[in-house]
Amino acid sequence: EVVVVGSVNVDQVVRVARLPAPGETLLATGMTLLPGGKGANQAVAAARLGAATTLVGAVGDDSSAAAALPLLRAAGVDVTTVEVVPGPTGLAIVTVDDAGENSIVVVPGANTAVDADAVSRHAGVVAGAAVVVLQGEIPAAGVAAAARAATGRVLLNLAPVIPLDPSVVRLADPLVVNEHEAGLLLEQLAPGSGTPSDDAALVAALRAQGIASVALTRGAAGAICSDADGTHTVPAPTVRAVDTSGAGDAFVGALAARLAVGASLLEAVQLAVRVGAHAVQGHGTQPSYPTLDDALPEVAR
Ligand code: ADP
């Protein structure tokens, strides 16, 4: 089983001809509400691929909570461990202009309630997971508590990079980061040591910090993974990308789903790059995530 401890948001995507200047009022040309949040996205991605998946998180007691959960439910994610707390549901206000440029404001809202106490209320669920999936959109204390409560593998997707005790980062197996996050994390773990310029060296530097396994995502170039069995460059299939938002979350969900059934890190990354590449070919985040049949027909059959 996969247990994701993480964020649930509603993405409010507002379309404008151009981004507003300070003090300016603009009329939008359109608005959509979409379910989002890294935790929720990753849970949907894992469940679509057939993993039994539970999400530990929180939504608010406002009306947008109802917009956050439908695709989780449709994918079969167990959301009975998503608590309802007073205040707003997590909200990402995404303003996109005609040139595709965006500006984003995130209101953490109910996600701030996913702290050590919340994790301890669901400690049995977390301890029962084959893979516990964590990100940086809930309080660091919640991430630390979940990593420590886990008895299975801890998949730590440190996005965004939040300050975590190095002993918590070293529970990651694997750590999943992009190049930018890898650089920030290295600076946290080994201040002033300098950031290696190439991706293989970044991965090696993270491993040298005592992290058992690492998967570095590299957009259209795919990923590099490294564990005790070796280091591998895994290219992504060449596709026509229409919307790359949520590709990293698709990658993480797929990786978790595969590790949960006993795949090696390399095998799991080989599926995850295909799932990420599938996700960039569709609009939005959760709606663009594939089933196993979509991502890997030869395995599903
Ligand atoms: P993030 O958005 O977290 O920085 P990436 O951009 O590295 O994550 O994307 C995650 C994964 O999605 C990549 O490892 C790759 O498999 C896939 N992916 C992303 N962009 C593309 C693309 N343009 N073409 C093919 N695959 C892509």
- In the reported structure, the alpha carbon of residue 209 is separated from the centroid of ligand 1 by a whole-number distance in angstroms of 25
Q: What backbone phi and psi angles, to 5 degrees, belong to 35? A: -70, 140
Residue linked to tokens 């993405």: 11
77 burial via Cβ count (<10 Å: 0-12, 13-18, 19+)? buried
Tell which atom from ligand 1 comes closest to the C-alpha of 249: 3
Q: Which of 115, 173, 199, 249 is catalytic?
A: 249
Establish whether residue 248 lines the binding site of ligand 1, counting it when its CB lies within 6 angstroms of any ligand atom: yes
Are 191 and 295 spatial neighbours (Cβ–Cβ below 8 Å)? no
Determine the pLDDT at residue 301. 41
In this structure, what token pair is assigned to residue 259? 């590790």
CB count in 10 Å sphere of residue 210: 11
Residue of the CA atom closest to atom 5 of ligand 1? 219
Tell which atom from ligand 1 comes closest to the C-alpha of 277: 26
Are 216 and 179 spatial neighbours (Cβ–Cβ below 8 Å)? yes
CB count in 10 Å sphere of residue 251: 30
- In the reported structure, the alpha carbon of residue 245 is separated from the centroid of ligand 1 by a whole-number distance in angstroms of 9
Instruction: Quote the pTM value.
Output: 0.95
Longest CA span, the chain? 57
Establish whether residue 37 lines the binding site of ligand 1, counting it when its CB lies within 6 angstroms of any ligand atom: no
pLDDT tens figures, 168-209: 999 999 999 999 999 999 999 999 888 898 999 999 999 999
pLDDT tens figures, 223-251: 999 999 999 999 999 999 988 889 999 99
- Containing 36, the helix (H) or strand (E) segment is strand 30-36
Establish whether residue 108 lines the binding site of ligand 1, counting it when its CB lies within 6 angstroms of any ligand atom: no
Tell which atom from ligand 1 comes closest to the C-alpha of 223: 14
The reply to whether 249 belongs to the active site is yes
What's the CA gap between 16 and 98, in Å, rounded? 7
Determine the pLDDT at residue 283. 83
Are 50 and 257 spatial neighbours (Cβ–Cβ below 8 Å)? yes
Edge-to-edge order in the sheet of strand 131-134: 82-84, 53-59, 2-5, 131-134, 153-157, 175-178, 214-217, 223-227, 230-234
Determine the pLDDT at residue 87. 97
The runs of H, that is alpha helices, within the chain are: 38-48, 65-68, 70-75, 116-121, 123-127, 140-149, 166-169, 179-189, 199-208, 247-260, 265-279, 292-295, 297-300
- In the reported structure, the alpha carbon of residue 12 is separated from the centroid of ligand 1 by a whole-number distance in angstroms of 23
Establish whether residue 239 lines the binding site of ligand 1, counting it when its CB lies within 6 angstroms of any ligand atom: yes
Determine the pLDDT at residue 85. 98
Here the ipTM equals 0.98
Q: Is 111 annotated as a binding residue?
A: no
What's the CA gap between 279 and 300, in Å, rounded? 18
- In the reported structure, the alpha carbon of residue 289 is separated from the centroid of ligand 1 by a whole-number distance in angstroms of 13
Establish whether residue 280 lines the binding site of ligand 1, counting it when its CB lies within 6 angstroms of any ligand atom: yes
Tell me which amino acid residue 207 is. Answer: R
Q: Is 165 annotated as a binding residue?
A: no
Determine the pLDDT at residue 267. 98
Determine the pLDDT at residue 298. 55
- In the reported structure, the alpha carbon of residue 159 is separated from the centroid of ligand 1 by a whole-number distance in angstroms of 14
Tell which atom from ligand 1 comes closest to the C-alpha of 180: 4
Residue ranges in the chain whose pLDDT is less than 70: 297-301
Residue of the CA atom closest to atom 4 of ligand 1? 178
